[in-house]
A and B are shown apart, each in its own frame.
Chain A
């Protein structure tokens, strides 16, 4: 990047955290009971981001292909943890499915972008691969969590319909398909809203960051376009993968729908 980066001093950084006092005061005055959570998450954000900065500094200095891949793997696992943490109350045993969908979609798209569009040198250059993967992962995990939630909610609300379809000879995929459709749609909605708002309502995070760091706004815009497109592709991919894997959790081996009464039985398989 060019030289115009304004470094933030640590005094100012701590000062900025006073901004969180606004949230704290609101929580205290309104009796939201969130004060503790606000404090904890502020400190967490501080530490995690600084640690990430330090880690990336080291990574850029001593990078080897396997170290970069290890970091990427760790990011995928963390993303899976967060995503399954959100859906665990709904259905268990989704870890492998979520991991597969998030990892495959994010890594395929990240490598296409980094190698095919940005032409990173060397190919494993952490300076491109890590932030790009991170951006994609953040979006795919959110979309995958939304889609799984929606998938299972929709299947439960359609339990009678699914039951009827199975009774008429439908295979699980046919019976679940309307729900899969709804879930894929739900997973893609925030993304499409973001796409159409980009550049008008908000300057997306990455572009703002590059501009603040002193980059040419047109270069930043070009990057942002690539980023938005790759995020679209990756979230779509992950949502489709997770939906077509996860619906099976609600069907028995024989293909009938596991209604809530039948669930306690570790799949109730016959």
Chain B
């Protein structure tokens, strides 16, 4: 993984590979400057990549149009940014895009329900986005991503602007939203909240993985309707998921970044043990460049 930033070669890590299991929430930690955001951005095709491969449910990234990939692998940036207009305009924004042209918009009832799930009861759909507080802003931005039901959610410190209570609520919500079989990787600086299934640590250009002890709170959310929060499941059922990639029942993302020099060096696929699905081994094929 290498690209030019401010005209200087920038390569925070090399030879890093990992895969995510469906229905699981992962934390990504590491000292600042270790490339956590870079990794997330690269997974969402938001940065130039010198090499490496990405696959979703075993389907390599080059079989997707970039926007269709981003539709399924959705990055929520650290700086929450809203489009001008009301909260409703923002939650429905993804449906103004061509990539979602085929899928029906959620109606106001559903939108109200997801607002209340995120403890945004005081915020109405007609609330002007410009009047939201920082914490509300972050949650609306997150809900907007949730509402499109991506296969993989990449959260770049979305809780940074939230107080402890809201942060827990957001974690619970994130977790609940995975019940449909989505996976989530989030950069996080807060203390463990017990929702993470496993923790990736990126430091000194290498990534390590720690499998958390399985509890009721972090066990893989297996299939739709069997998540941890029955209210969330109801809402989830009303939101249409992105039409899953052609083949494959188990949404997994595998990714491997190789230095340009050795595009064929095999990257270990970090895999978690107690899942009943087999993670896809990232194929070390020369990346796009």
Complex contact A169–B76 (CB within 8 A) = no
Complex contact A169–B67 (CB within 8 A) = yes
Complex contact A255–B6 (CB within 8 A) = no
Q: Is B289 an interface residue when CB atoms closer than 8 A count as contact?
A: yes
Complex contact A168–B3 (CB within 8 A) = no
Tell whether A163 pairs with B97 under 8 Å between CB atoms, given A261-B5, A268-B4. Answer: no
Q: Is A264 an interface residue when CB atoms closer than 8 A count as contact?
A: yes
Interface residue ranges, B against A (CB under 8 Å): 3-7, 44-49, 66-68, 70-71, 74-77, 79-83, 93-94, 96-100, 141, 144-145, 148, 288-289
Q: Residue on A with the closest CB to B96?
A: A174
Q: Is A166 an interface residue when CB atoms closer than 8 A count as contact?
A: yes
Chain A residues near B82: list those with CB within 8 A.
161
Q: Residue on A with the closest CB to B288?
A: A270
Complex contact A167–B99 (CB within 8 A) = no
Residue interface mask A163-181, B partner, CB < 8 A = 1: 1111111110010000000
Complex contact B148–A168 (CB within 8 A) = yes
In the complex the two chains form, what is the Cα distance from A32 to B177 in whole Å? 64
Q: Is A39 an interface residue when CB atoms closer than 8 A count as contact?
A: no
Interface residue ranges, A against B (CB under 8 Å): 160-161, 163-171, 174, 252, 254-256, 261-262, 264-265, 268-270
When the two chains form the complex, which single residue of B3, B45, B81, B94 contacts A254, counting CB atoms closer than 8 Å? B45
Complex contact A265–B67 (CB within 8 A) = no
- Closest approach, in angstroms, between the C-beta of B63 and any C-beta of chain A? 14
When the two chains form the complex, which single residue of A163, A174, A261, A264 contacts B77, counting CB atoms closer than 8 Å? A163
In the complex the two chains form, what is the Cα distance from A164 to B94 in whole Å? 10
Chain B residues near A163: list those with CB within 8 A.
46, 77, 81
When the two chains form the complex, which single residue of A165, A171, A262, A270 contacts B49, counting CB atoms closer than 8 Å? A270
When the two chains form the complex, which single residue of A170, A171, A255, A268 contacts B3, counting CB atoms closer than 8 Å? A268
Complex contact B3–A265 (CB within 8 A) = yes
Complex contact B48–A255 (CB within 8 A) = no
In the complex the two chains form, what is the Cα distance from A168 to B146 in whole Å? 10
Chain B residues near A265: list those with CB within 8 A.
3-4, 7, 48
Chain A residues near B45: list those with CB within 8 A.
254-256, 270
Tell whether A169 pairs with B5 under 8 Å between CB atoms, given A254-B66, A256-B47, A262-B47. Answer: no
Complex contact B46–A170 (CB within 8 A) = no
Complex contact A269–B70 (CB within 8 A) = no
Chain B residues near A168: list those with CB within 8 A.
70-71, 74, 93-94, 97, 144-145, 148
Chain B residues near A161: list those with CB within 8 A.
81-83
Chain A residues near B66: list those with CB within 8 A.
254-256
Q: Residue on A with the closest CB to B79?
A: A160
19 new A-B contacts, CB < 8 A, other than A256-B66, A264-B4, are A160-B77, A160-B81, A161-B81, A161-B82, A163-B81, A165-B83, A167-B70, A168-B93, A168-B97, A169-B70, A169-B74, A169-B99, A169-B100, A171-B98, A174-B98, A261-B5, A265-B7, A270-B288, A270-B289
- Closest approach, in angstroms, between the C-beta of A249 and any C-beta of chain B? 16
Chain B residues near A164: list those with CB within 8 A.
77, 80-81, 141
Chain B residues near A170: list those with CB within 8 A.
67, 97, 99
Chain B residues near A269: list those with CB within 8 A.
48
- Closest approach, in angstroms, between the C-beta of A238 and any C-beta of chain B? 27
Q: Residue on A with the closest CB to B61?
A: A254
In the complex the two chains form, what is the Cα distance from A163 to B82 in whole Å? 11
Chain A residues near B44: list those with CB within 8 A.
167
In the complex the two chains form, what is the Cα distance from A19 to B68 in whole Å? 64
Complex contact A256–B67 (CB within 8 A) = no
Complex contact B75–A167 (CB within 8 A) = yes
Q: Residue on B with the closest CB to A172?
A: B67
Complex contact B48–A171 (CB within 8 A) = no
Chain B residues near A254: list those with CB within 8 A.
45, 66, 288
Complex contact B48–A252 (CB within 8 A) = yes
Query: In this complex, which of B46, B97, B100, B144 has the most chain A Cβ atoms within 10 angstroms of its Cβ?
Result: B46
Chain A residues near B94: list those with CB within 8 A.
168-169
Complex contact B5–A262 (CB within 8 A) = yes
Chain B residues near A171: list those with CB within 8 A.
67, 97-99
Chain A residues near B5: list those with CB within 8 A.
261-262
In the complex the two chains form, what is the Cα distance from A265 to B50 in whole Å? 13
Chain A residues near B148: list those with CB within 8 A.
168-169
When the two chains form the complex, which single residue of A160, A169, A252, A264 contacts B7, counting CB atoms closer than 8 Å? A264
Q: Residue on A with the closest CB to B141?
A: A164
Chain B residues near A255: list those with CB within 8 A.
45, 66-67
When the two chains form the complex, which single residue of B6, B80, B145 contacts A264, counting CB atoms closer than 8 Å? B6
- The list of the 3 closest CB pairs from A to B, nearest first, reads A264-B7, A169-B71, A169-B99
